Chain A
Amino acid sequence: MKPGSRAFYRLSKPAVFLLALLPFIILLLRSFEVAGFGLGANPVEALLHELGRWGLKFLLLTLAVTPLRRWTGWNWLLRFRRMLGLFSFFYIMLHFAVYAVLDQGLDMAVIIEDVIKRPYITLGMTGLLLLIPLAITSTKGMMRRLGKRWQKLHRLVYIVAVAGVWHFYWQVKLDTLDATVYAAILLLLLGSRVYHRRR
């Protein structure tokens, strides 16, 4: 099955969709402790961290599409970019929902205090809010209606990614190894864009 073939075209999207949904399904199994799965002693924290990490992973995957396409010439990669971006939005919104509902019990005063007083939450919230217009304008119709402005608007994703990874880094108590790996990948992906422009 060649990447350009009809069969690939028809099968690849559902396949990637299911693959991207897999972390969510596993988290559901863990949440309901199905078949030996579990979330450990602090399920709220486990959900919060897992969802946040998956949100960032999909964000980095979305940002990897263009550089990968340029280096490899695999233009078909572009076909998955929107879906990857929307999955990032999906996981990050769930991350926020777990924070707001389970972690803070929808106590608005506490949430607002957190957003104002805790810089890492301010950053995370900024990224989350900036992601919303991107998700809303991700449809073909919106792309057409916005024309050139669409691309300009969607450059916000760079700010979202920096805010998201920084949010992760800042929240870690001491061992920043994981967050550093995310930051290094982001730096590479942003750097490749700068490199491409300069050439």
Chain B
Amino acid sequence: MLIKRASGILPSEITDEAVYIKRRELLKLAGIAAVGTMAGQSVLVSAAVPEAGGKLLPNARKSPLSTDQKPNSWSDVTTYNNYYEFGTGKEDPSRNATNFEPRPWSVKVSGQCDKPGSYAYEDLIAPNELEERIYRLRCVEAWSMVIPWVGIPLASILKKFEPNSKARYVNFKTLDDPSRMPGQRRRILNWPYEEGLTIAEAMHPLSLMAVGVYGYELPNQNGAPMRLVVPWKYGFKSIKAIAEIKFTSRRPRSSWEQAIPSEYGFYANVNPQVAHPRWSQARERVIGAGVFESKKPTELFNGYGDEVASLYAGLDLRKNY
């Protein structure tokens, strides 16, 4: 009997185990290089590699939905963001989330669907192929970044729960646990953080459930273990550390909408024409561009208009901010 060698793989293509184990060190050696290519897989390596504890994810497929803009550094992405569960300062999450333990994790699914229940993180994520999506992120505070997320189309996850015909919206909630999320001990927002999308928005191919960034598992401060990324909306819509998903027939109210309804609406689509009541949204500070770089004009739907504008046909974006 002939035992065939697995076809298509040359011995020279198989990574030596010692090299494989040391791949992190090798990645570090790759150093400043923005994009490194190893063993045929694309891995983005930032100028500063993650500190100890960062777990490399399996290869993520490159996505045609990615922007070709240069991503921000690992340091920008992981030290400057809003995540009030770990403090209201932009650097607070990176300081205060270090001890957060995102495993074990489960998501409670309820509402208008045929497969409600409690799902373990692994059961939700593992069956899917990971994709790398390099997206622009525009914060409602008029700054922006480019972030190489790794994740799964939100639709592939939601479809598993078999939403029924009454499911017109999807409501997401962050973990509610002040003992693990110290920011929740102060009642700044109505905890747990809550967000919502229309079912069409949630099922849109651009909507992503991110589990990683830069090829690594999501750092705690970025919303580990799983968070939403909805790139055509202001960043606060992209809810972090999701513990609950509910399909509803009535429009959910997001946490920011509950806090200041005159300033934050349900849609929160990026729109340079519609100013925040207290500041302009016409331009944005590009993080990482340098002190002397001027702000850049903000684009409608954060530049994703070709993909998503049809979702809002006939909707008055000024009223439905």
| Interface SS of chain A | helix
Cβ-defined contact, A173 with B291, below 8 A: no
Give the docked Cα–Cα distance between A117 and B90 (Å).
26
The 8 Å CB contact of B291, one of A43, A104, A120, is A43
A-B contact number at CB 8 A: 55
Q: What sequence of 0s and 1s flags, for each residue 41-79 of chain A, a beta carbon within 8 Å of any chain B beta carbon?
A: 111110000000000000000000000000000000000
Number of chain A residues whose Cβ lies closer than 8 Å to a Cβ of chain B: 24
Cβ-defined contact, B91 with A45, below 8 A: no
Q: Which residue of A is nearest B72, CB measured?
A: A41
Which residues, 68 to 94 on A, are CB-close (under 8 Å) to B?
A: none
Cβ-defined contact, A174 with B260, below 8 A: yes
Cβ-defined contact, A44 with B291, below 8 A: yes
Cβ-defined contact, B259 with A174, below 8 A: yes
Interface presence of B56 (CB below 8 A): no
Task: Mark the stretch among B73-81, B122-130, B146-154 that contacts chain A.
Answer: B73-81
Interface presence of A40 (CB below 8 A): yes
Give the docked Cα–Cα distance between A44 and B75 (Å).
17
Residue in A44, A104, A114, A171 whose Cβ sees the most chain B Cβ within 10 Å: A44
Cβ-defined contact, B285 with A41, below 8 A: no
Q: In whole Å, how far is B20's beta carbon from the nearest beta carbon of chain A? A: 33
B91 proximity list for chain A (CB < 8 A):
40
Cβ-defined contact, B79 with A41, below 8 A: yes
A110-B280, A117-B275, A117-B280 are known contacts; what are 10 more A-B pairs with Cβ within 8 Å? Answer: A40-B90, A41-B72, A44-B285, A103-B295, A104-B294, A107-B294, A173-B141, A174-B84, A174-B259, A175-B88
Residues of B within 8 A of A (CB): 72, 75-76, 79-80, 84, 88, 90-91, 141, 143, 188-189, 259-260, 275, 278-280, 283, 285, 287-288, 291-292, 294-295
Residues of A within 8 A of B (CB): 31, 40-45, 102-105, 107, 110, 113-114, 117-120, 170-171, 173-175
5 residue pairs of the A-B complex, CB under 8 angstroms, read A43-B291, A45-B143, A103-B295, A113-B280, A175-B188
